[in-house]
Amino acid sequence: MELRCQIVLGNTYHLENRPGSDLLKELGGLSFFTNWRSGTLTDSGGFQMVSLLDLAEISEKGVKFQSPIHGQQMMLTPERSIHIQNDIGADIIMALDDVVSSVHNEKSRFEKATQRTLRWIDRCIAAHRRPSEQALFGIIQGGLDHRLRNVCVEGLRERNDHLPGYAVGGLAGGEEKHAFCKVVSQCTALLPEDKPRYVMGVGYPLDLVVCSALGADMYDCVYPSRTARFGTALIPEGVLRLKTAAMSSDYRPIDSECDCMVCMRYSRAHLHAKITKEPNAASLLTYHNICYQMRLCEQMHQAIITNEFEQFVGRFIRRRFPVGHIPQWVRDALLMAGISL
């Protein structure tokens, strides 16, 4: 809680594999199982259609997975995904959608996924047993196709009374940045302003700022922990690679502006010595990286409240690109948001 995180995310597919939703329900849900007393969110398991594609078989009924743990088959239908999430007990649950990588090369597959996602949302709504306790979010699919994204948004908005929030899915999979930003801008502009707009899989600090300018409210990503495992810390200027030789005699904290316990206790040199030898070094960097991300989001939130967001964005970009080599996609995306650099 010292990191001031408001929500922790759990993956439905992996939680059902281990420890199982029956046990989580018996113990009072994910919050009690993890001793986490703040907000919780569960993914539907749909992303595994991409990440475990070789182990998945997708049909109108649902998606059949072969467990990478014990080899057993799991049939994840929209109904089962929702029932598992009901038992896990998260505050926010996600509809099962037909997820296709944004760089997939068959246009017909995106058409099929968009229409199936809309058919599945009705099955998810009908299966939801705890609508007064758990907020069900619908997920927009459609790849990079402007028409399909419109179709999906319009279809979900027809179910608006049953959906307390919306997510933009199927991005952050290696697509070109201009195309990514166009989809985010398109979807957020079409969604209700009084409900959360969640861009899934986004976690680079620059992307957080740009997507917030484009109208997004929520994000999730493994980036802070994954990059920590490679010895990389997040700082206002970008990243700090603690494995480099220059760090061995640098006795400053990771970030002199950061008040996390890692920056208060450890020098760059100390962490450099630990990062290649001690597994807990990655945990320390993860702690710092999450603190950085949370502070960045708090700063954006405050700037929005005080009507100073445009000035905040300008300061953030100038610090990250001090010599002025701002990527064109950043300039173009911020212009879509009405911010000129």
Whether 145 sits among the annotated catalytic residues: the reply is no
Show Cβ contacts of residue 47 under 8 Å, excluding neighbours closer than 6 positions: 11, 99, 200, 201
φ/ψ bin of 11: left (φ > 0), alpha (ψ from -120 to 50), beta (otherwise): beta
Catalytic residue of the set 207, 220, 250, 259: 220
Active-site option among 43, 87, 97, 255: 43
User: Residue 195: helix, strand or coil by DSSP?
Assistant: coil
Tokens 């109208």 belong to 215
User: Strand 56-58 to strand 218-219: parallel, antiparallel, or no bridges (unpaired)?
Assistant: unpaired
What is the identity of the amino acid at 255? D
- Distance, in Å, from the CA atom of 335 to the CA atom of 214, rounded to the nearest integer, reads 10
C-alpha separations of 44 from 1, 121, 204 in Å: 25, 12, 23
The answer to whether residues 120 and 98 touch, using CB atoms and an 8 Å cutoff, is: yes
**Are the C-beta atoms of 199 and 297 separated by less than 8 Å?**
no
Place of tokens 């994204």: 149
220 has catalytic annotation: yes
Residues with catalytic function? 43, 220
